[in-house]
């Protein structure tokens, strides 16, 4: 079952030319919406005196993970509760391996020591907590193991605590690290107080909020229309098997908002938003996406008689832990110099591609 924000029947039975036109409009909408979202988020950070990396780790990541939370809760209510767990963990892998990896390859991403030593550890700790709970429950209950509502409630409580602590941390760190990435050469430039060198015309805070929310809505709807229309063309008109579509187009589509927003942030000189969005999205995929879904309905860790125990317990969770451990090593190396090196993106992207291939093979 392929769940989406827009109803599937809207795309079923449509002529190929119309679906391709929808895909083209969707791509344009994603790019334009990402422009508005990044500009709005960067402007809000400047007006509130908050570092852009914190805005990325809270407001932007909360917005980009909201569709995944909605889809996961809907999946739980419709009887596909196992999909919610895989969706959350798979999104962490995509955010860390694909999005952060591509960002590293594009430029030397800035490393804010204050944020990475706080939100960064929450990112790693929440993933370890989830993995520990899943392996512990499977060891005790076997194929009957589920993430019940008490665990969902615990994760949501931790989410509230994380958001509250993020606000407190932002007040302790109002200007961010005095580093930024130069657009043309990727060199790190020191600026007084970490302020941005650009002097844009000031905008009202309300206008910036509206711009950011409008951009987020356009990214979400356009991205979903793009993936749904291309999936319909591939399956119905080109005869591509649904399992291939699920392992490629749909898996890529769930991370499309974060990917486009991250690339746009780098292009516009706000690379801190990409770093913050990846960290925040990883945290929220555990505490928000999986927590809300488990609170709605218990999530089975395995499905007897299927390959899911192999895929989730021995592929998804280990890949997530390995990627985040590697990310912690990168943070240790980067915080002393103020930026992540470009070569750091190579192992992450390679690991993501290998994970995608193994996941598809295991699902056959």
- Has residue 3 been placed in a domain? no
Q: What does the pLDDT look like over 310-357, one tens digit per residue? A: 678 888 899 999 999 999 999 998 977 889 999 999 999 999 999 888
Q: pTM of the full predicted structure?
A: 0.76
On average, the pLDDT of the chain sits at: 78
Q: Which residue has the tokens 């090196």?
A: 341
Residue 114: what pLDDT? Answer: 83
Where in the sequence is the domain holding 96, given as residue range(s)?
Answer: 14-363
6 in a domain, yes or no?
no
**Is position 339 within any domain?**
yes
Residue 69 belongs to domain with CATH number: 1.20.1420.30
Half-sphere exposure of 65 (CA within 13 A, CB side): 33
- Pick from 43-52, 107-116, 118-127: least confident: 43-52
> Does residue 284 fall inside a structural domain?
yes
| Closest C-alpha to 200, from 280, 269, 115 | 269
Q: Is the pLDDT of residue 246 over 50?
A: no
- Residue 51 counted as domain residue: yes
| Residue 301 near residue 134 (C-beta atoms within 8 A) | yes
| Residue 288: both structure tokens together | 């928000």
The DSSP-derived string for 137-187 is HHHHHGGG-EE-HHHHHHHHHHHHHHHHHHHHHHHHSSS--S-EE-TTT--
Report if residue 1 sits inside a domain. Answer: no
> How does 206-221 read in b/e, with b if 16+ C-beta sit within 10 Å?
eebbebbeebbebbbb
* Structural contact between residues 217 and 57, judged by C-beta atoms closer than 8 angstroms: no
pLDDT digits (tens, 9 = 90+) for 31-75: 777 778 777 877 777 777 677 777 777 777 777 777 667 666 766
Instruction: Give how far the C-alpha of residue 326 lies from the chain's centroid of Cα atoms, to the nearest Å.
Output: 17
**In-domain check, residue 5:** no
- Tally the domains of the chain: 1
**Residue 56 and residue 61: Cα distance in Å, rounded?**
6
Instruction: Copy the structure tokens of residue 35.
Output: 């422009």
Q: How far apart are CA 320 and CA 247, in angstroms?
A: 17
pLDDT over 80 at 201, yes or no: no
pLDDT given at position 195:
40
Which is more confidently placed, 140 or 166?
140
pLDDT at 359: 76
Domain-embedded: residue 2? no
Alpha-carbon distances of 242 from 6, 234, 265, 363, rounded to whole Å = 18, 9, 33, 11
Most confident of 163-177, 298-312, 343-357: 343-357
Stretch 167-176: mean pLDDT, rounded? 70
């Amino acid at each position: 079952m392929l769940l989406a924000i827009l109803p599937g029947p809207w795309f079923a039975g449509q002529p190929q030319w119309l679906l391709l036109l929808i895909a083209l409009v969707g791509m344009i909408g994603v790019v334009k919406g990402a422009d508005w979202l990044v500009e709005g988020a960067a402007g809000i950070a400047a007006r509130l005196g908050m570092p852009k990396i914190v805005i990325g780790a809270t407001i932007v990541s909360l917005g980009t993970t909201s569709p995944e939370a909605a889809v996961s809760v809907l999946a739980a209510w419709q009887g596909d509760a196992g999909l919610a767990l895989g969706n959350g963990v798979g999104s962490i892998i995509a955010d860390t391996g694909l999005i952060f990896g591509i960002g590293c390859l594009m430029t030397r991403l800035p490393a804010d020591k204050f944020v990475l030593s706080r939100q960064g550890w929450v990112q790693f700790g929440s993933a370890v907590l989830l993995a520990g709970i899943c392996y512990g429950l499977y060891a005790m209950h076997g194929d009957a193991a589920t993430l019940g509502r008490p665990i969902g409630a615990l994760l949501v409580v931790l989410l509230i605590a994380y958001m509250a602590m993020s606000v407190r941390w932002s007040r302790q760190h109002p200007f961010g690290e005095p580093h930024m990435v130069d657009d043309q050469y990727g060199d790190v430039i020191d600026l007084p107080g970490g302020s941005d060198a650009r002097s844009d015309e000031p905008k009202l805070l309300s206008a910036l909020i509206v711009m950011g929310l409008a951009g987020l809505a356009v990214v979400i709807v356009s991205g979903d229309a793009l993936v749904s229309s291309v999936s319909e063309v591939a399956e119905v008109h080109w005869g591509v098997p649904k399992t291939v579509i699920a392992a490629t187009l749909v898996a890529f589509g769930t991370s499309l908002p974060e990917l486009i927003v991250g690339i746009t942030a780098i292009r516009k000189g706000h690379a801190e938003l990409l770093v913050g969005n990846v960290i925040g999205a990883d945290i929220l995929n555990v505490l928000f996406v999986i927590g809300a879904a488990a609170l709605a309905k218990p999530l089975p860790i395995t499905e007897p008689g299927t390959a899911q125990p192999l895929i989730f317990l021995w592929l998804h969770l280990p890949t997530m832990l390995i990627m985040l451990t590697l990310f912690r090593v990168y943070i240790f190396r980067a915080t002393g110099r103020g930026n992540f090196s470009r070569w750091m993106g190579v192992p992450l992207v390679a690991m993501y591609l290998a994970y995608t291939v193994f996941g598809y093979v295991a699902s056959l």
